[in-house]
Structure 1
Amino acid sequence: MHQLAFGIEKSNLPFIWVVRNRPVGEGQMNDIILSGYEKRVSKRGLVLRDWAPQLRILAHSSVRGFLTHYGWSSIIEALKYGRALILFSGGNSDQGLNARLLHGKKVGLEIERNEVDGLFTSDLVAATIRRVMVEPEGEVFKANAQAMREIFGNEELSNNYLNEFTRFIEEFSPSACHC
């Protein structure tokens, strides 16, 4: 997490970072933010503890990208607002598949890891953030994420899919079957 923090700082871009401290032992919390970090980034970054209104933040017009652990709910929320993705693996089982899908669709870019030990450096974090957010290469990610907004941000389409699925389930439920 320290490499992630330093990478966000090294990117020299404005940010909001939501940090949830994890329990390390009985009654103890592990503060993943090193002393002095918040003061160093205070001119361009905001560190929020425990909870933040993610949808309200993503909906704001000044937000252009989203560094995420790429769980499916976060992906849907980001694409609902057309936000390009910077992908940071937390190690859950579906994340590798999600990363391949998002990279293939050119809506997100995964932070590279060292082939030997699977770790990443703050330099790789900063470079990936900058590639998506400010480098010319990132324009395709932002454009494709905006295009995905037409699907993920369309409530009528989502409701139609949900209604069709509900009808399908009702038609094939055991009570509807005359077997």
Structure 2
Amino acid sequence: MTKLKARKQPQLLLDTGDVIKTHPRDGYWGAAVVLQVSAEGGMFAMSCHIGITPIVFRHDYAFAELDVSNLSILEFHRGIRGEPFEYGQRREVCIGIYKRKVTTDLSVLGRMDSACIRTPPLPFQIGNGSDGGWPLCRLGGNFGSEAIDEWRRVHDRVRYLDEGEKAALSHEAMLQNFPKNQA
């Protein structure tokens, strides 16, 4: 029997202005933009800031369908949980710090001048987006899902709210089953 060699996935090096196609959920596609790459060494060497745009398509799309002169970064209210059955919201700008070298099946559609997109200051500092820093993120299957959620909150509101309520009740029920010292 012949032993097969493991094949390495091809690597892609993201650069400033790369426009990335997202596909976090069946039937929905979006767009993200590499806003800036790190010139620093150390912890942030080979890192970049990527912003998720509010663009949502219900079909697979091409770069030519985007109006890149009109792109912006998604700003939204994220639901947060305080105490049991107490939920609030926090305003977020959908920007994160990512690795530039990626091996996922990522589709870079083209390149634009990312300086055209208004952003808050983009230091390479870890934070939550409201404290002067940005979250460390991974490119994966749900990359860009915030834009889809926001789109659904407006265009598929009843189903979106129903799914959210069911998920919250399920989460609370799960937490009730934890011993008090582990919750």
TM (normalized to structure 1)? Answer: 0.31
Structure with higher strand content? 2
Higher helix share: 1
Q: TM-score, normalised by structure 2?
A: 0.30
